[in-house]
Amino acid sequence: MACGLLLEAGWEGVARLRTEREKGTAHVEDEVRLQVTLLPLLDEGRMRALLRETLKAAGWAETADGGLSKSEGGVTASLTPDGREVVIRASATVEVEGVGRAQGDDEDAAREAQRAAKADLARVTAQAQEGLRAKTLGEIAAAEPGLRAALQTALNRVYREALEEKARSMGEVESIQEKGDARGSYEVTITVQA
Amino acid sequence: MKEARADRRRVTLRYRHDEVTARSVLVIDVESPEDEMPHEHKQDLKSLAAEVLGVPIEALPAEVEVRLRSRHAGHHEGDPEHEHEAEGQRVEGPARAAVTSRS
């Protein structure tokens, strides 16, 4: 007896999957602004000039816009060209990629995959920025106390120079005394016969 | 230290920054000639401060604290009975911060 087996086999269609990739950049920049207010011991231009001289002596470099800057610990401190602010800035950049898929191999599928890739890129970028922001804010927080102290030291030097200039314009300088302590406090006393 | 001449004032300019409080103070001490009457001091101090600072006291920025004191020549420094203090302005230290963030 013949025995047979009839097999009916059919192939399920294997869908073509279109994949698109979108590349981009996640960038974050954070800053802290310190206002620099100077006592008007001399005219404002002279006070600002003294501050610039003092910061340059402390290693700050001239910038193209007429300001000064110094980089340290992953952050850059910049004196604005008008000398009224010091901006402590940290930035970070990372390359990111979004991936989108769509079924099919025609142009509609390609467009759909591209749309999905762009949407994914936006999601990945936002996620990356969140991580980068934690990094930049951490760098600023770590650098800020030292930069504030350095700026205050510069301001103390500016006031010392300005007071001496003022005293000499008033009359005969009798004495100049300076004192400070390890915590950063500072005092200068100038006596003049006016 | 030299004695102040009778016809001249001895002016002491003192700048002090206290790191603990983050405050900066400018103190101007004036040692007046002995024949200057006490009631003249307040006005004299104001005009002297204007001369020293280059601006009227009233025009000083809010970040500035200035204390003006005078005492007659011949009195000991720091003797409060012989010091006259004019009104000053008081606020915070010379640097304030504002935080901004952008991406």
What mean pLDDT is reported for chain B?
59
3-state class (DSSP) for residue B27: strand
Contacts of residue A155 in chain B, CB cutoff 8 Å? 17, 24, 94-95
pLDDT band at B2 (very low <50, low <70, confident <90, very high): very low
Measured distance CA(A97)–CA(A112) in Å, rounded: 17
Q: Which residues pair with A100 in a beta bridge?
A: A20
The alpha carbon of residue A111 is apart from the nearest alpha carbon of chain B, in Å, by 29
What pLDDT, on the 0 to 100 scale, is given for residue B39?
55
What pLDDT, on the 0 to 100 scale, is given for residue B36?
53
Measured distance CA(A49)–CA(A66) in Å, rounded: 12
Which residues of chain A, if any, have pLDDT below 50?
1-3, 5, 7
ipTM over 0.85: no
Q: Is B96's CB within 8 Å of A37's CB?
A: yes
What pLDDT, on the 0 to 100 scale, is given for residue B69?
62
The alpha carbon of residue B39 is apart from the nearest alpha carbon of chain A, in Å, by 21
Phi-psi region of A173 (alpha: psi -120 to 50; beta: other; left: phi over 0): beta
The nearest alpha carbon in chain A to B4 belongs to: A193
What pLDDT, on the 0 to 100 scale, is given for residue A30?
96
H or E element that contains A138: helix A107-170
What pLDDT, on the 0 to 100 scale, is given for residue A38?
86
Q: Is A35's CB within 8 Å of B99's CB?
A: no
Reported as a single tens digit per residue, the pLDDT across A127-142 is 999 999 999 999 999 9
Reported as a single tens digit per residue, the pLDDT across B45-61 is 667 667 766 667 777 65
